[in-house]
Chains A and B, each alone.
Chain A
Amino acid sequence: MDIKQRLKALLQEAEIYRTQGLISEAHDKYKSAADLIHSINKLKNKESLLKAVSEKIRALDSTKEKVDKGAETPELSKKAQDLIKNLFAFSENTDADSAALEGAVALAKFGQFDRAVVELNELLQKEAVRVEAAKNILRCHLASATVDEAISQYHEWFSGDQFQPQQLEAVRIYLDEILQKRGLTMDLPSAQTAEAALLEETAVEAETIVEAEEEFLDITSIGITFDKGPRKGKMVEFDVNFQSGNMLSLIISKQEKEVLEHLAEGMKLQDVQFFSPIAIFNGAGVVASKTQIKAGPKQGDYCLDIRIVSS
């Protein structure tokens, strides 16, 4: 093939590659053509040919730049986004929330972050998919914005009351792992640590309450309603002779044989009224002990210890 035919073939090949969108290949062929033109000494229109080829090369460089620079994930039309949601939600789940989550995740996978975040935020209202929705919101922030935005989002959730502590902890662990993979060590507040601290605080408060509650009111007398025996259904009132915390001591005359027979040790008294100088309240008690007095003016009578079990 003579040199002119070679040049013609190169230019034709280059042009076809250009029309095919094969930028690098076209560029290479035009470059080869330019080199060949340079090597031909007696070529007519040499300068104009070189100029034309150079322009072709410049145009290809410009196209290449546009292709390389082109937005990798442009925002698509709503119609195209709807199609992505329909085609790329692979869940076999029939429940609406899971399907909606899959659709939003599909949008995120195709870089449609703005709409994905809007839809995922709506799904935060749904208990069953809340954690997954939150994780994907963070993924969207990490992919489309900055790490700071993801962290800021977590802090916002942490400060709010939308998440249960274990849900928030799952989200924290997820974000923490991603940050660690990126070589970032952030001290994200843990909902469970906060909850444990809160529980501890609550426990201390509860103990204080119990202690306070253990300072029982002074009980002056109690009324026991019997559930069996001849006084079944009737309330019999007894004076309290001594009180230590929730333990009340009563002296019951040996004359009250019927009563004494029905107040055995260990017996639970379901219906007891407690009388104090400032209040009357209902509760239950247990006969802790029943002892006959052996000496003194009350000899033969019985001392009953009744422990208050609820009030």
Chain B
Amino acid sequence: MAIFNLKKREIECKVVYYGPGRCGKTTNLEYIFGAYKKQVKGEMVSINTEGDRTLFFDFLPIGLGQIRGCNVRVQLYTVPGQVKYSSTRKLVLRGVDGIVFVADSLEVRREKNMLSLKDLQANLKEYGKSIFKVPLIMQYNKRDLADQGIPLMSIEQMERDLNRQLKAPSFSASAVRGDGVGATLKECLKVTLQSLQREFQWAR
């Protein structure tokens, strides 16, 4: 849940990158850390395990400056994608204001994407939130692998699989190249702040 300091006119909100293991959540944050130095407000913290897999979470604080008279700070997190870290995912998701669901475009990861989205829905439900109402952006990552002849799902198929009912804003991306990373984040911040505005009427 976002923290408002009305006296100081400050907002701090939480955006979580969710998705199956090895889909590129950490790569998204690494790109943001490198490319948006002006906005980055601290070190990126990654707690990894064997094979460079996220164990607990990645954390990156950024600042958006003044928006309608409020200083907006955002905490970006990733969750561990591996199935066995279910309880950690749930813990990281607590108090989330906006979500980027990073889907893996590889054909072989089709089922993993769907299971992860289902897991997100279940975890949100446990916090009393609906996946249909929470600010959510879909990102179809690893589009660059098509250049190497790797079978990818088409965007249309991914939309059908993951976004047919949600109808969330979606972006193609290649996090390793940085393509679509900024656009995904910007859209997520936009819908998150709009949602907070509707809820708390902070901008006047």
Residues of A within 8 A of B (CB): 9, 12-13, 16-17, 20-23, 25, 28, 63, 66-67, 70-72, 74, 76, 80, 83-84, 87-88, 90, 109-110
Contacts and interface: CB of A to CB of B under 8 A. Distances in A.
A21 B53 contact: yes
B41 interface: no
Contacts of A72: 84
B50 A66 contact: yes
Secondary structure call for the B interface: mixed
A12 B22 contact: no
> Which residue of B108, B145, B151 has the most chain A CB atoms within 10 A of its CB atom?
B108
Contacts of A76: 47
Interface in B31-70: 45, 47, 49-53, 55-56, 59
Interface string B53-97: 101100100000000000000010000000010011001001100
Contact of A21 (B45, B51, B108): B51
The 6 nearest A-B residue pairs measured at CB: A70-B50, A21-B22, A25-B108, A66-B50, A70-B49, A67-B50
Interface string B142-160: 1001001111000000000
Given A9-B149, A16-B150, A90 B95 contact: yes
A88 B91 CA distance: 8
A54 B52 CA distance: 24
B111 to A, nearest CB: 11
Contacts of A20: 22, 106, 142
14 contacts: A20-B106, A20-B142, A21-B51, A22-B22, A28-B108, A66-B51, A70-B49, A70-B50, A70-B51, A74-B55, A88-B91, A90-B94, A109-B91, A110-B91
Contact of A63 (B22, B51, B142, B151): B51
Contact of A80 (B22, B45, B52): B45
A83 B53 contact: no
A176 B84 CA distance: 28
A76 B46 CA distance: 11
A76 B48 CA distance: 10
A76 B49 CA distance: 11
Contact of A12 (B55, B94, B95, B149): B149
A28 B109 CA distance: 13
Size class of the contact patch on chain B: 20 to 34
B143 to A, nearest CB: 14
B52 A21 contact: yes
B16 to A, nearest CB: 12
Interface string B177-191: 000000000000000
Nearest to A77: B47
B84 to A, nearest CB: 7
A278 B175 CA distance: 99
A195 B22 CA distance: 57
A88 B56 CA distance: 12
A88 B57 CA distance: 11
Contacts of A66: 50-51
Contacts of A22: 22, 106, 108-109
B150 A13 contact: yes
Contacts of A23: 51
Contacts of B148: 12, 16
B51 A74 contact: no
B51 A17 contact: no
A109 B92 CA distance: 11
Given A21-B51, A22-B106, A70-B49, A83 B88 contact: no
Contacts of B53: 21, 67
A20 B107 CA distance: 14
B93 to A, nearest CB: 11
Contacts of A28: 108
A20 B52 CA distance: 11
B86 to A, nearest CB: 12
A17 B149 contact: no
B47 A80 contact: yes
Contacts of B56: 84, 110
Given A13-B150, A21-B53, A23-B51, 13 more contacts: A17-B108, A21-B21, A21-B22, A21-B51, A22-B108, A25-B106, A25-B109, A76-B47, A80-B47, A83-B45, A83-B59, A109-B87, A110-B91
A189 B1 CA distance: 42
